[in-house]
Amino acid sequence: MSPLQAQNRLQTTSSPRSVSLQTAWSTCIDEHAQVDWLILHFNRWFSHYNVILVRGEHEPEYFPATDTQPARIQFAHGFFNSALHEISHWCIAGAQRRTLPDLGYWYAPDGRTAEQQRLFEQVEVKPQALEWLFAQACLRPFRVSLDNLTGAAGNGTLFKDHVFAQVQRYLAEPTSIPKDGLTLIQHLCDEIRAGKMLHNNEFSRQTLD
């Protein structure tokens, strides 16, 4: 499917109806409207990748493109921060893994052992750091997720330290941010922050506690 065909499909299957491309972010006063705004703009900014961002009713999942459908980044329960989190994974994955179901990630469900949780946290540092950048570009709060309610808790303090340190590395060397992640940050800052880019003094380790 060509990018134009994908765009036509998204207009009939997944376009939000409460906002338009002319809707200012500042007028989106609730979560639902902000999610609609993000879907509409992400799908426009990244239409050349034949990918769309879609609400999911259940758990998040990534579906690679087929001959008849664009790739879909499905986020959980219509939550804004879930959308940012799934986008961050997509940005980090790169072209090859975007051809794989769920971006080729290994994922153990809730109830992980201590060792499984440690591996999960290693994989999650960069996506959650990138998600924090996205959230700040949207002027929205961010909090880390250890995502293991019925299993081993992991070391939340150490994980937060690692996420904060990764954010500082990204900001110190913007070229280390995945290309599509940096593109999204630039678009968000243009639309929401009147072009003001992110600065490291906007991020504090204490806000994660």
Q: How far apart are CA 87 and CA 79, in angstroms?
A: 13
| Strands of the 51-56 sheet, one edge to the other | 51-56, 71-76, 61-63
Q: How far apart are CA 126 and CA 178, in angstroms?
A: 10
What per-residue confidence (pLDDT) applies to 195?
98
Angle between helices 114-137 and 80-97 (to 10 degrees): 110
pTM value is 0.87
For residues 118-139, one letter each, b for 16 or more C-beta atoms within 10 angstroms of the residue's C-beta and e for the rest, the string is: eebbeebbbbbbbbbbbbbbbe
Q: Per-domain residue ranges for the chain?
A: 3-104, 114-208
What per-residue confidence (pLDDT) applies to 121?
81
pLDDT tens readout for residues 22-49: 999 999 999 999 999 999 999 999 999 9
Half-sphere exposure of 161 (CA within 13 A, CB side): 4
What per-residue confidence (pLDDT) applies to 16?
55
Stretches where the chain sits below pLDDT 70 are 1-17, 107-112, 147-155
